[in-house]
Amino acid sequence: MDELFSFQDRVILITGAGRGIGKAFAEAFHKRGAIVYGTGSRKESADHMNAFGIQGRVADATDPDAMPGLIDEIMQTHGKLDCLINNSGISSDTPASFFKEDEMEKILNTNVKGVFRACQAYFKAHRKKGGVIVNVASVLGLYGFPLASIYSASKGGVIQLTRALAIEWASSGFRLNALCPGFIETDMTARMTGKAEYKSKAEEGIPMKRIGKPEDLVGAALFLASPASSYMTGQVLIVDGGLTAQ
């Protein structure tokens, strides 16, 4: 049974690993013996990762050349990449009627096109070996929520992208699944969780009566990245304290 969840000497690439959910993932895989590469948007993030045994790299999700270059580096060094976890993303609470073109494009370029570019680069580099991809989406990609129009659209796109690529690449030995967190305490949700009255209201709407922590998602990520989920592809795994079960 332990072999199902063993990551000893497996090579894992996690985007957006400098903080929040991505950082929790990187630390968990590293503790279990994996060789972990993590991307961040700033040099300080990469340096912080390196200090904790993660191979930190600066990479911009909107740069078409960033992920192919990094994956090529990993392949040259290790000859393989066992799993790609696409965690990078940005959000906005701009009202729909006030969205401007540049903000909309930035969210879609990061959250959808950035994920696709990473998936495509991994597939091209690893198509003869197969692979595992976990795309971090959101419950807001499944259900409507105010002040989240473009973010919700982008995460819905990630879910559908995951499903489509899972079907298209199954014959090449690739598995793709989406992980959908609910409300998690991160920098991205600080506008809500940082204010006691907003946090309390949000917790009341969650059956488990608490906001999640990044560590609450680690088990799901380990499962989706491991042989324990070897017959699972094109699926959406929701971790939200029961929010969407109501």
3-state secondary structure of 32: coil
Report how far Cα 64 is from the mean position of its chain's Cα atoms: 18
What is the amino acid identity at position 40?
G
222-227 contacts, C-beta under 8 A, 24 or more apart: 222/5, 222/7, 222/28, 222/29, 222/32, 223/5, 224/132, 224/134, 224/177, 224/179, 225/7, 225/12, 225/29, 225/82, 225/83, 225/85, 225/132, 225/134, 226/4, 226/5, 226/6, 226/7, 227/3, 227/4
Separation CA 53–CA 55 (nearest Å): 7
Catalytic, 122? Answer no
Separation CA 70–CA 102 (nearest Å): 27
Inter-residue contact 92 to 103 (CB < 8 Å): yes
37, 122, 143, 151: the active-site residue:
151
- In the sheet that 236-239 helps form, which strands lie side by side, from edge to edge? 55-58, 35-40, 11-14, 83-86, 131-136, 174-181, 236-239
Other CB atoms within a 10 A radius of the CB of residue 32 amount to 16
The CA-based angle 183-185-187, given to 5 degrees, is: 115
Active-site positions read 151
